[in-house]
Structure 1
Amino acid sequence: MSIEKYVIVTIILLCVAQGAYALTFYGSESHIEDEKLFDSVRITLNENNSQQLKILYMNKIINFSFSANFPTNCELSPSERGTFVICDVSKATPKNRSIAFNLTLQSVQKVGDKYNFKKEFVVYESVNSFFMSVYLPKLSQLNSDSIIPTYGAITSDGRSIIVYWQKNSIPLGELLSFQMSYEVIGGQQDYTVSMISVVLLIIVVFVAALAVKYKKLPEIRTIFPVLKSDEKMIMELILKHGDGVNQKVIVRESGLSKAKVSKVLKSLSERDIVRLERVGRSNRIYLVKYLKGK
């Protein structure tokens, strides 16, 4: 092989090696209250993470706080396009590589009787698995045709309408833009109509749950919007590795502590979402049959 060809092949291999996702998971659970967005973000870094995590939020940041299971510091840096959240992640380890943000964002604008929601941000790292959910205010009526991107899905927890988006393989620097519009129902008559709608929705959800349980339809993704961020991340890993994944694998890839993973799995087991089977000094994790559609 000539030197020129060797150099080209080496460059290609280096590019492929560096193409691994810097973030294994980016999860966001948001609640709209008083025309503000209260956003809880959970991020899991790759084992071979970079020295710095940088995210640009186009929406105005009103409040910000952070936490991590490794020593770090995060700061806000205003720019012409928005505000950067910049975190030092150089001290993250293979076992401790999770970081969380709590943000209050100005992302809702009222136009007449309608409320327009828009959230835009850029993650300056590649992301393997992305999930974002937005809980609308109680007694809201969603304009389903306004959801952007259109792959967004709609569900409910019986109290609020939830819109969520899920995507894999997000490249570094891609603009993530999410939009929708809704109305808040007011007045006693509208309130009564809304409550009837909520009751009917609960009945529909209950009937659907029975259908899933007894007809054993595969509805695993429908439970994601009502799971906590840690639960979503662990469920993603279970789906990734398939039935019978060892609990040690979940601990290693989630970046959570053994105690935290055990606590989350116990909660999922008690809610009949997963089944734990003791093997030696660890557990193997299985989805319950009705969620597998078998």
Structure 2
Amino acid sequence: MEKLILDMKRLFILILLLMFSLANAAIIDKERVSIDLKDDGAADFEINIEYPEEVENSDYFIRAQVSNVIVKGGSGRILDCKIEEMDIGTSIICRNIEEKSVTYKFTAYNLIQLGKKMNIFSHQFSITDVKNFLEIMVKIPIGTALVEEERLEFSGLKPFYPENGIEGSDGRRIFIRWLFEKPKLGENINIIIVYEKIVSLDNNIIFYALFIISFATIIAFIFFWRYRNKAKSILPILTESEREVMKIILSSKNVIDQRKIVKETGFSKSKVSRILKNLEERGIIKREKVGRSTKVKFIFGEKKSEEIG
């Protein structure tokens, strides 16, 4: 009995809102609603309403509790509007605005049913104003996707409803958009979306991944630092010709063809061969025949038995 009384009370309030809207509201040319669903169950709304001509008053009603309300006119100025909270929702009432378009922004709550595997967004839009065009677009959170219809077969649900919605993506997020031409006054449009997470990284996995990357970076830095210091430590003890050859070897990632050294230094083959022989005898480089060419590698501080890869 109490539930019946509560339902009758809500119906009575809706009828009063409808009558009030008809008496005070102008015809709406275009209304565009954008809803940004959040991981925590909140939803950010942005409603842009365009009128055929300047209006003195503009109202918006939503069947939810809201916060962070900002209302702007088409001129860009922030409008001073009254917010009235009721049992069945919230009314935003703007008076003496003299604007041709109005944008409402706010955060709404308790419109998303968060589950362990699936989340369900549902909201009812009550048509209390005469509208020529209504667009509703809902973006689901990053890292989520619509649940496949086969998995909802026995639930009576669809991935989204009404089914004439258009699914799309902006490259990062999936959205569903509905277009309504001249929706009927007094009609209720029920929007439902069923979605789920597709990317869920455990904090421990992220921590270990960052640790491995950091460790590898440190090791690489130490290796590079030791290699650079080894290379610098031998250059002062070399002759000018030997230093020129060594600079070419060091700039070629340690392994280089002997013919390239001849080409880049401009030295004769015999001179390069003599320099490399001296460097090899001092344990600074190693030469190895690979087919018809001779490969030269910097090995100072390494075991002489290491093969050239």
CA–CA distance in 1 between the matches of 2:88 and 2:201?
A: 43
CA–CA distance in 2 between the matches of 1:101 and 1:188?
A: 35
Say which structure is richer in strand.
1
* Deviation, structure 1 residue 21: 7.3
Q: Is the 8 A contact 1:56 1:121 kept in 2?
A: no
Letter in 1 for 2:179: Q
**CA 1:162–1:177: 2 relative to 1, 3 Å:** same
In the other structure, the counterpart of 2:229 is none
Q: Is the 8 A contact 1:59 1:120 kept in 2?
A: no
1:101 matched to 2:108? The reply is no
Provide structure 2 residue ranges, at least 5 long, that are not aligned to the other structure.
1-22, 150-157, 203-309
In the other structure, the counterpart of 1:86 is 93
Structural mapping, 1:5-84, within 5 Å: 22-34=27-39, 35-47=41-53, 49=55, 51-69=56-74, 72-84=79-91
CA–CA distance in 2 between the matches of 1:42 and 1:142?
A: 26
CA–CA distance in 2 between the matches of 1:122 and 1:161?
A: 25
CA–CA distance in 2 between the matches of 1:117 and 1:79?
A: 21
Q: Is the 8 A contact 1:38 1:102 kept in 2?
A: yes
Q: Is the 8 A contact 1:55 1:124 kept in 2?
A: no
Provide structure 1 residue ranges, at least 5 long, that are not aligned to the other structure.
1-17, 190-294
**% identical aligned pairs:** 20
In the other structure, the counterpart of 1:125 is 129
* Deviation, structure 1 residue 61: 1.0
Greater Cα radius of gyration, structure 1 or 2: 2
* Deviation, structure 1 residue 149: 1.4
**CA 1:68–1:21: 2 relative to 1, 3 Å:** closer
**CA 1:135–1:154: 2 relative to 1, 3 Å:** same
Q: Is the 8 A contact 1:32 1:38 kept in 2?
A: yes
* Deviation, structure 1 residue 170: 1.9
CA–CA distance in 2 between the matches of 1:163 and 1:186?
A: 20
* Deviation, structure 1 residue 122: 2.7
CA–CA distance in 2 between the matches of 1:169 and 1:21?
A: 14
Letter in 1 for 2:59: K
* Deviation, structure 1 residue 110: 0.6
**CA 1:21–1:77: 2 relative to 1, 3 Å:** closer
* Deviation, structure 1 residue 167: 0.7
* Deviation, structure 1 residue 89: 5.3
Letter in 2 for 1:45: Y
| Larger RCO, structures 1/2 (Cα 8 Å, 6+ apart) | 1
CA–CA distance in 1 between the matches of 2:132 and 2:96?
A: 18
Letter in 1 for 2:132: N
**CA 1:21–1:169: 2 relative to 1, 3 Å:** farther
Q: Number of aligned residue pairs: give it.
A: 167
**2:142 aligns to what SS in structure 1?**
coil
Q: Deviations over 1:219-264 (max 9, x none)?
A: xxxxxxxxxxxxxxxxxxxxxxxxxxxxxxxxxxxxxxxxxxxxxx
RMSD, matched Cα: 2.8
Among 169, 175, 182, the residue aligned to 1:169: 182
